[in-house]
Structure 1
Amino acid sequence: MRVMHNMTSDLRPHAVSYRERLSPSLWVLAAAAVSAPMVTLVFVPLDPTVALAAGVGVALALVIGLVAASPVIAVEGGELKVGRAHVPVELLGEPETASGEEARLLRGPGLSRTAWHLLRPGIDGLVRVPLTDPDDSVTEWVFSTRTPDRVAAALRRARAS
């Protein structure tokens, strides 16, 4: 006899409450795409068809590589994941959000030397989360995000459950 499980209860503890890919700006992707004519010009003396295929292939590889290598921010399974780093939400304090001038200060002179950080150019929003683990030499996480309020709300929900 096959036993059916309640899929909602099985999925709820590991449900993703927030996920964001910090993909490059359109200007960076456009700059990568500009490699197509340059590569094409290099290979034109060999064969124009090969040159065109090589140019398009290199440009596509660069754009796909830039997007695939972009870090992901996620609050899932009781953890905050920023890029390859992760920490249980139980070890996090109250998240703070910043944008504009306040975020610029936190990225520069206001950045603690004991902070772990992932800062992306072109992304204005910032979240700062203190760590409450006394055995950890890192005192806070500071990372870029396009929607700092949504990240903070997801962290508060994850900590409450």
Structure 2
Amino acid sequence: MSDQPNPAVTDNKTPAAHAYRERLWVPLWWWPIAFAVTGLLAAEIHMGAPGLRAWLPYVLLLPVPVWALIWLGRHRVEVRADADGTPELHADRAHLPVSFVSRAAVVAPTAKSAALGRQLDPAAYVCHRPWVGPMVLLVLDDPDDPTPYWLISTRRPEKVLAALGLPSAG
């Protein structure tokens, strides 16, 4: 036997392949509206003042909507394999191994208000973005976790469930 490492064996430091990845950006039509509102606010501050006050409000305020819209769209939904090769859902900073999911369903945009309203369990994990229509419901089967289910906003719920290897019940 040789002491040389086997090139076919990989270590756990290599990044896992993503079966599904989505960033929950804000809609594109929000950008011109945000710049228009910011431009109007800068014009109100400017109000015909000469010199430095003429351009300073525009320079200081126009980066604000860029930062705000990027910050609102910072959340990601990813399905990637863990060290054992089993799929794992990552929603923002939380992650859920598929082994703890007992059932999964697609929540249609028409049923979203009921799922987030009168039917919502306060112990549920929710990653909701109002500008994203459908959601994925993942019912958990973990005796050590008090969370009964996860509700995750995603634009392609069928692809998320397929990447997790779960059948869709909705």
When normalised by structure 1's length, the TM-score is 0.76
- Larger mean CA deviation between 67-76 and 36-45 belongs to 36-45
User: How many angstroms apart in 2 are the aligned matches of 1:47 and 1:3?
Assistant: 69
SS at match of 1:33: helix
1:36 is the counterpart of 2:39: yes
> Cα distance 1:11–1:154, how it changes in 2: closer, same or farther (>3 A)?
farther
Which of the residues 65, 79, 91 maps onto 1:75? 79
Give the letter aligned to residue 27 of structure 2: S
Within a 5 Å distance, the mapping from 1:2-151 to structure 2 comes to 5=7, 14-34=16-36, 35-43=38-46, 44-47=48-51, 51=55, 54-55=57-58, 58-70=61-73, 71-78=75-82, 79-151=88-160
> Cα distance 1:77–1:13, how it changes in 2: closer, same or farther (>3 A)?
farther
Give the root-mean-square deviation of aligned CA atoms. 3.1
- Larger mean CA deviation between 122-131 and 100-109 belongs to 100-109
* TM-superposed deviation, 1:50: 5.8
User: How many angstroms apart in 1 are the aligned matches of 2:150 and 2:101?
Assistant: 9
User: How many angstroms apart in 1 are the aligned matches of 2:162 and 2:136?
Assistant: 11
User: How many angstroms apart in 2 are the aligned matches of 1:112 and 1:36?
Assistant: 42
Contact 2:45 2:57 in 1 (8 A): no
User: How many angstroms apart in 2 are the aligned matches of 1:56 and 1:26?
Assistant: 22
- Larger mean CA deviation between 113-122 and 57-66 belongs to 57-66
How many positions carry a matched residue from both structures? 155
* TM-superposed deviation, 1:57: 5.5
SS at match of 2:19: strand
**How many percent of aligned residue pairs carry the same amino acid?**
27
> Cα distance 1:77–1:57, how it changes in 2: closer, same or farther (>3 A)?
farther
Moved over 6 A (4+): 7-13
Higher helix share: 1
- Larger mean CA deviation between 13-22 and 62-71 belongs to 62-71
Unaligned runs of 5+ in 2: 83-87
> Cα distance 1:3–1:27, how it changes in 2: closer, same or farther (>3 A)?
same
Q: Which structure has the larger Rg? A: 2
